[in-house]
Chains A and B, each alone.
Chain A
Amino acid sequence: MLKRTPLYEAHVSIGARMVEFAGWEMPVQYAGHIQEHMAVRLAAGLFDVSHMGEIEIRGADALALVQLISTNDASKLLDNQVQYSTMTNELGGVIDDLLVYRLNHEYFLLVVNAGGTDSDFEWIRRNAEGLNVEVHNTSSAFALLALQGPRAEQILQGLTDHMLDRIPYYWSQRVMVDGVDCRVSRTGYTGEDGFEILCDSANARHLWNRLLVTGSDRGLIPCGLAARNTLRLEAAFRLHGHDMDETTTPLEAGLAWVVKLGKGAFIGREVLLKQKEEGLKRKLVGFEVLDRAPARDGYPVAIGDRQVGVVTSGSPAPLLKKNIGLAYVPTEHAAVGTELSIVVRGRNVPARVTDTPFYKRERKYD
């Protein structure tokens, strides 16, 4: 039996196409994939991401536990600040990627991927033994909406007195949105400005409807997982389970900036330290296909007749109007400009390693 978010009926009622995703029945698209993608780039889009998991860590050792399981340095966070990080196993493999919210010095909220919620929770609880903390999986209590796009702030501002321009990038605040108590963070997975809005499940439908109505004259439309995936790929955000998993390290995945080897002990640190000292054998790179044929997940990457890697995310990029992707390749072939082939249904199609992100907005809030 697939799980449903509190917004399931709302999606079906406006004609969303529903699909299975990580054990959930989720909207993959409403009006159209490209239209939704472009709305987020040019105006705004609203996503139901309530399938994401929430894990709360409270107690005197809350920071110590977060530091143990997370590769980034949570001791640098202030109250209400948010941090992107990865969780690694003893071998340095990526169990999941996550957002770490510091709510106060003894209270952290982790937002994790839907597919990993239960196993992440078990992993964290196992590693909490002997520490003075309580770990709770509160996923079913919360809905999470992502309001993304250049007009996200003005749309949300119409429903709250809280001055949203005072919430900087990767900070959060407790905000009353149209009478609903929410945790609003300036975060997202699209490469645009925008917010993620956490609220009680019971209030999700009200908030969803009010946002769509308020935002409609500014071009806001509901957006599904298909647009979410191409938006994140243009921004070169990694997708766990595709671009990284327990067989790849965050260093190989290009996430060294969230691996703080100097912060003290954490699970996987020794392996990651050794890998850093010895140098990476392979790297996740961005590439552009120099052909009309799109690259897709799982297509081989070749140099001449020799397979050297595999595409982990590949798609046409609706804004850039190019075929782009991410792939693991040996470090000697990872330099920007390297010519590769993507094997598309038996045909070698030319591609080139490019700088990432493929798309970068002009940032207002860094």
Chain B
Amino acid sequence: MANTPEDLSYTKDHEWVRAKGDQATVGITDHAQHQLGDVVYVELPKVGDKFEASEPFGSVESVKAVSEVYMPLGGAVIEVNESLNDSPEQVNEDPYGDGWMIRIKIDNPAQVDALLTSIEYEDYIKEEAAE
């Protein structure tokens, strides 16, 4: 069973968000890294890049496949996790910690409330698996 911390927010594209004021840290969920398998490459945007909500901001690759990662909220990138260049396996090993991907400045912090809670996200995973 995938680990889904209660203090984070989630998207149906399997990103997690740790929001604080108008800033947020973003990564992919434990469930997502399980589905992907061994991550061997992560492509991230540059600091200063701006994205709309649901726009792809990068990609994460296992040996087998490429998956895009999507912006949970509109905003600008203020920091990227450069350590994933050398150690992409952190996405598997610690998806909510060292495997974080970007920090953003959120355009509209009120939209954080529209993201999924951990319970809603767990239900969503179950629905997806049942399909």
Contacts and interface: CB of A to CB of B under 8 A. Distances in A.
Interface stretch (B4-12, B21-29, B58-66): B58-66
B43 interface: yes
Contacts of A293: 41, 43
Contacts of A316: 40-41, 61, 63
B58 to A, nearest CB: 10
Interface residues of A, number: 17
B79 interface: no
A12 to B, nearest CB: 14
9 contacts: A32-B37, A32-B38, A33-B38, A33-B64, A34-B63, A37-B63, A294-B66, A316-B40, A316-B41
Interface string A222-248: 000010011000000000000000000
B64 A226 contact: yes
Interface string A22-35: 00000011001110
Contacts of B61: 294, 316
Contacts of A315: 63-64
Contacts of B41: 292-294, 316
A294 B60 CA distance: 11
A296 B62 CA distance: 11
Given A32-B37, A33-B37, A316-B40, A292 B85 contact: yes
A59 B63 CA distance: 46
A33 B59 contact: no
Interface of B: 37-38, 40-41, 43, 59, 61-64, 66, 85
Interface SS of B by simple majority: strand
A296 B66 contact: yes
A168 interface: no
A318 interface: yes
A345 interface: yes
Nearest to B65: A296
A345 B59 CA distance: 10
A229 B37 CA distance: 15
B131 to A, nearest CB: 15
Given A33-B63, A296-B66, A316-B61, 11 more contacts: A29-B37, A33-B37, A33-B64, A34-B37, A37-B63, A226-B63, A292-B85, A294-B40, A315-B63, A315-B64, A316-B41
A327 B8 CA distance: 44
Nearest to B58: A345
Given A226-B63, A318-B63, A34 B38 contact: yes
Contacts of A292: 41, 85
A292 B59 CA distance: 13
Nearest to A318: B63
A33 B38 CA distance: 7
A321 to B, nearest CB: 9
B80 to A, nearest CB: 15
Nearest to A347: B43
Contacts of A32: 37-38
A241 to B, nearest CB: 17
Nearest to B43: A293
Contacts of B37: 29, 32-34, 226
A10 B94 CA distance: 31
Contacts of A229: 64
Nearest to B92: A32
Nearest to B68: A345
Contacts of A318: 63
B66 A33 contact: no
